[in-house]
Amino acid sequence: MSTAASSFRSDAQVITLVGIAHGVSHFFHLILAPLFPWLKDAFSLSYAELGFLMTMFFVVSGIGQALAGFVVDRIGARTVLFAGIGLLALSAIVLSQAGNYAMLLAGSMLAGLGNSVFHPADFTLLNQRVSQPRLGHAFSVHGISGNLGWAAAPVFLATIAGLYDWRTALLAASLLPLAVLALLYVHRDLLQDSALKAGGANAVADSAARHAGRAQQFDFVRVPAVWMCFAFFFITAMALGGIQSFSSAGLRSLYGMSLPLATAGFTAYMLASAGGMVWGGFIASKTTRHERTIAIAFAASGVTALLIAAGIVPALVAVLLMGAVGFGSGVAGPSRDLLIRAAAPKNATGRVYGVVYSGLDIGLAVSPVLFGALMDGGHPSWVFICIGAFQTLAILTAISVGTNTAKKGVKAQAA
């Protein structure tokens, strides 16, 4: 087998394995939401109490994600990834045996802790184990697999709960991460961290270098681009949270459409977003100015969201426009991840991705409060106005990161 063919096969295997793991993490984002009707009756809970379960999931995940990046850089991404998948399986088992609200809360927080490792571990593995020319496609597949996880969770959980009960659905869900963990373990050599692969004397030297540089392990927090990336994720997560939580309800109130049609709007968003990520992977592989791709894609999505907010199009067209919003967001995905990679200081990939992606969890935890208040106040159009506004604001942060990174590159070349 030629070297090129061997490299392609290795890259494809790593991308597939990491993508499958990422899909499981997104599946567990919705481990409880599809079961709310059953949990509400079983424990006599209010909607506020149910929503708090999801808020705590993302709070724990956000805090844990920032910390997980340090652990990834210290002991390796593969070990941390395996631990996270194991925690997801354990959380589903705990939730399935819950006898009260406190156990539901504990299980949700445990799932958040398991979820916290994926972005720093996944992106560290992809950056280390995938060839540079294929990184754009790797990030594209990574994003698509997450969307598929989101799409699969409601169908899987609600179907089993309808046929049997909610406890059986959660026990069945626990088998998914266990199966993925077994798969990854079988192919564990493909996921060995590059920095740890050499072993022996190199490992000793690396350990000494890490010890010597421990005082500098927080140097990355002084890089402005890192915090602009954090702001970018927080802002885009606010838009995403609004779409996930209240786009269907907003469409129903604004256009008077049926629940199935409003739900189809969200489905159109998810499917088009996945398609956009495929195209975005090709675009990201052909350019180094990723902020420009993000700006164009989010500008188109933001304008489309404002058109939906205006309420001047037929209901069916509004559903199609939801797909357009999703497509633009999807196109920006791979460029977004490559932009962060370019901004990350050398040997701080895990820490940077951990801190930056914690903005995603924080945004997803905060956004339901804002958009819920808008819906309670009878302002469904403002749901889409805010979605468009957040996407437009994200453009400014992306341009700032890209410009800063480009200037650093020019200075480095001059030096």
71 located within any domain: yes
Instruction: Report how far residue 46's alpha carbon sits from residue 126's, in angstroms, rounded to the nearest whole number.
Output: 42
Specify the DSSP class assigned to residue 33.
G
280 shares its domain with 333: yes
User: Where a domain ends, among 189, 205, 232?
Assistant: 189
65 located within any domain: yes
Range of the domain at 305: 220-407
3-state percent breakdown (helix, strand, coil) of the chain, nearest 5:
90, 0, 10
338 located within any domain: yes
Assign 280 a pLDDT band (cuts: 50, 70, 90).
confident
Assign 405 a pLDDT band (cuts: 50, 70, 90).
low
Tell me how many domains the chain contains.
2
Highest mean pLDDT among 177-186, 200-209, 357-366, 398-407: 177-186
Q: Which pLDDT score, from 0 to 100, does residue 45 have?
A: 84
Specify the DSSP class assigned to residue 188.
G
- Decide which of 383 and 225 is more confident: 383
Instruction: Report how far residue 273's alpha carbon sits from residue 413's, in angstroms, rounded to the nearest whole number.
Output: 37
Please, how many CA atoms are within 13 Å of residue 146, restricted to the half-sphere of its CB? 19
Dihedral angle computed from the Cα positions of residues 39, 45, 48 and 53, in that order, rounded to the nearest 10 degrees: -50
252 shares its domain with 389: yes
210 located within any domain: no
Residue 121 tokens read as: 């571990």
The CATH number linked to 164 is 1.20.1250.20
Instruction: Report how far residue 330's alpha carbon sits from residue 209's, in angstroms, rounded to the nearest whole number.
Output: 39
- Decide which of 46 and 193 is more confident: 46
Residue 32 pLDDT exceeds 70: yes
Least confident window among 30-39, 107-116, 201-210, 390-399: 201-210
pTM value? 0.76
230 shares its domain with 117: no
Please, how many CA atoms are within 13 Å of residue 201, restricted to the half-sphere of its CB? 0
Q: What does the pLDDT look like over 198-256, one tens digit per residue?
A: 544 444 445 544 554 555 666 666 777 778 888 888 998 898 888 877 788 889 889 99
Assign 95 a pLDDT band (cuts: 50, 70, 90).
very high
Residue percentage of the chain with pLDDT more than 90? 36
- Decide which of 10 and 350 is more confident: 10
39 shares its domain with 155: yes
212 located within any domain: no
Q: Which residues of 347-377 are buried (b: 16+ CB within 10 A; e: fewer)?
A: ebbbbbbbbbbbbbbbbbbbbbebbbebbee
162 shares its domain with 251: no
Task: Give me the chain's average pLDDT, please.
Answer: 84
147 shares its domain with 237: no
* Contact (CB, 8 A) for 347 and 409: no
- Decide which of 296 and 407 is more confident: 296
